[in-house]
Amino acid sequence: MLASVVLITLSFRAGEDGTAWDIEAVGSTLLRPAAVAVERVAQPFRDAYAWADGLLTARSEADRLRTEVRELRQRAIQSEFALRENEYLRGLLEYIDGPRFPAGYDPVAAEVIGRPGSAFAQAVVVAAGSRDGVRVNDPVVNADGLVGLVVRVSPRTARVQLLTDPRAAVSALDLQTDAAGIVRHARGTRETLVLDRVRKRDLVRVGDEIVTAGWRVGALTSLYPKGIAIGVVTSVGQTDTDLYQQIQVDPYVDFGGLDAVLVLVPKGRQ
Amino acid sequence: MTPGDALRAALVVLAAAMLQVVIVSSLTVLGGTADLLLVTVCCLGLLRGAVVGAVAGFGAGLVVDVLTLDTLGASSLVLTLVGFWAGRYGETTARGTRLPPLVAVGALTILAAVFATFLRVLLGEEVVAEHALVGALVPALVLNLALALPVSSLLRTVVRPRSESPSAAEVELVA
């Protein structure tokens, strides 16, 4: 017990510069091959379970996806026109912008090799670390959208705080109406998010898409680049006593089924 | 405890820690996840006593903290206590009863969750107590109880139970 208390004290007080962190980084590097091996062995079984589970909803899912593809095809055509127009106007203005997603980043693909089992931390450990260019505060995404943020890095592994962690918060926008707010976890539920701090006069509708805002104020910029998909609004409400609207967001990312992620490393970082 | 027993126990704990972090934690059933490591440490404590339970708990927690890059020692402290209490229960009250793994795993799952919540609050982490102590704990309790007997049986085949001190069958009086 005494040894545990000493380790907690060392780890807690020294942060990432102390002996405890060095021990942890070395241990993590040594155990990484074994964790990767176990993950590789488990992956086919996990895939088989997901395949069998998917069969139950395959028909309804296929119908829904066909409808979605038709809608997205129309929007892709409109977006293409908007993109050309946007590039032309930026050229005219000599517009200075921050790193843009995905063009301003080098994605580092990383396998998820660990998940803390406790009910306290919503995090995963990925098999990429400082030797791969990953640093603390690098954003992490997958094909569905925003996953979270790198919070600790060892030479060969990194800990990613998920968006559903109580300590995570992201500046976000309603893609359809530009209403701004902060996405954070919904208290009491594990995989639901809320869009907080949205003024009552701003318009947000059920079904609207929420994306990262990627703000910039002087030298300060958001940790997350602009335009990464977060989720879709599932409910909107407000009471007379609250200053802000109560908006629930269903994330696009399945945080329980993460197998691999992309860590976004800004281009040109030394 | 022979060196062979110690090695087998260490390998079991290491394997359980790996499985917990890489596989079991990602399997959400009924809104919660099983804690294979807690069950293993608990059963090991019951089989081999308080000291072995505490040492196994400390080692297991250390592996988990290192693998998940969590605060070093946090899981160790919780699992050390789990192993010690399970060992003491095995050495005292549980003697002669039929279901010590179920009783120990059930009680220690609840106590470990309460203690871990308290510890996280002390460390300044934001904890949703309702989720940790109700939403996640109830399914975890059910899953851990389901694992208790199979893990206990498996451990009995891998790690020999501590030999009881035999009661004297007869007394020889030496003049």
Residue % of chain B over a pLDDT of 70? 87
- pLDDT, one tens digit per residue, over B99-154 is 788 888 999 999 998 888 888 888 877 777 767 777 778 888 999 999 989 998 88
Q: How many whole angstroms from its chain centre is CA A170?
A: 9
Distance from CA of B89 to the nearest CA of A (A): 18
Q: Coil, strand or helix: which one is A159?
A: strand
Cβ-based contacts of A128 with chain B (< 8 Å): none
Cβ-based contacts of A190 with chain B (< 8 Å): 31, 131, 135-136
Judging by DSSP bridges, how do beta strands A146-153 and A139-141 pair with one another? antiparallel
Question: Rounded to an integer, what distance in angstroms lies between the CA atom of residue A12 and that of residue B73?
Answer: 10
Question: Rounded to an integer, what distance in angstroms lies between the CA atom of residue B58 and that of residue B13?
Answer: 10
- pLDDT, one tens digit per residue, over A56-85 is 888 888 888 998 888 888 888 888 888 888
A-facing residues of B in 31-90 (CB < 8 A) are 31-33, 35, 37, 54, 58, 61-77, 80-81
Distance from CA of B131 to the nearest CA of A (A): 5
Predicted pLDDT of residue A52: 83
* Cβ-contact B65, B21 below 8 angstroms: no
- pLDDT, one tens digit per residue, over B65-87 is 888 888 888 889 999 999 999 99
Cβ-based contacts of B76 with chain A (< 8 Å): 3-4, 7
Mutate which: B62, B70, B119, vs A, most A CBs within 10 A: B70
Predicted pLDDT of residue B124: 78
CB contact under 8 A, A257 and B26: yes
In chain A, the DSSP E strands lie at 105-114, 123-126, 139-141, 146-153, 158-162, 169-174, 180-185, 193-196, 209-212, 216-217, 220-221, 229-237, 246-251, 260-266
* Ramachandran area for residue A141 (φ above 0: left; ψ -120 to 50: alpha; else beta): beta
Question: Rounded to an integer, what distance in angstroms lies between the CA atom of residue A65 and that of residue B113?
Answer: 41
**The domain made up of A105-164+257-266 is a member of CATH 2.40.10.340:** yes
Cβ-based contacts of A261 with chain B (< 8 Å): none
Predicted pLDDT of residue B58: 93
Q: Coil, strand or helix: which one is A31?
A: helix
Predicted pLDDT of residue B39: 94
* Cβ-contact B22, A35 below 8 angstroms: yes
A10–chain B Cβ distance below 8 A for any pair: yes
Answer CATH for B3-161 from 1.10.1740.10, 1.10.1760.20, 2.60.40.1120, 1.10.3720.10: 1.10.1760.20
Predicted pLDDT of residue B28: 78
Predicted pLDDT of residue A84: 82
Predicted pLDDT of residue B49: 87
Out of B64, B77, B135, the one facing A188 most closely (by C-beta) is: B135
Out of B22, B66, B123, the one facing A38 most closely (by C-beta) is: B22
Give the residue on B whose Cα is nearest the Cα of A150.
B69
Out of B22, B72, B76, the one facing A23 most closely (by C-beta) is: B72
Lowest mean pLDDT among A137-146, A183-192, B9-18, B53-62: A183-192
Distance from CA of B39 to the nearest CA of A (A): 13
pLDDT at B44 over 80: yes
Out of A5, A116, A154, the one facing B77 most closely (by C-beta) is: A5
Lowest mean pLDDT among A38-52, A184-198, B49-63, B161-175: B161-175
Distance from CA of A152 to the nearest CA of B (A): 7
pTM strictly above 0.95? no
B26–chain A Cβ distance below 8 A for any pair: yes
Cβ-based contacts of A3 with chain B (< 8 Å): 58, 73, 76
Average pLDDT by consecutive 10-residue portion of chain A (270 residues)? 81 70 80 83 81 82 88 84 82 65 82 78 88 91 91 90 88 89 78 87 90 80 86 88 87 86 83
Question: What's the whole-number mean pLDDT along residues B20-41?
Answer: 85
Residue B133: CB atoms within 10 A of its CB come to 17
Predicted pLDDT of residue B48: 87
What tokens were used for A111?
């396998």
Angle of helix B50-68 versus helix B3-22 axis, rounded to 10: 40
Cβ-based contacts of A123 with chain B (< 8 Å): 68
Q: Locate the domains of chain A by residue range.
A: 2-52, 105-164+257-266
Cβ-based contacts of A256 with chain B (< 8 Å): 26, 28
Phi, psi (rounded to 5 degrees) for A129: -140, -155
CB contact under 8 A, B18 and A34: yes
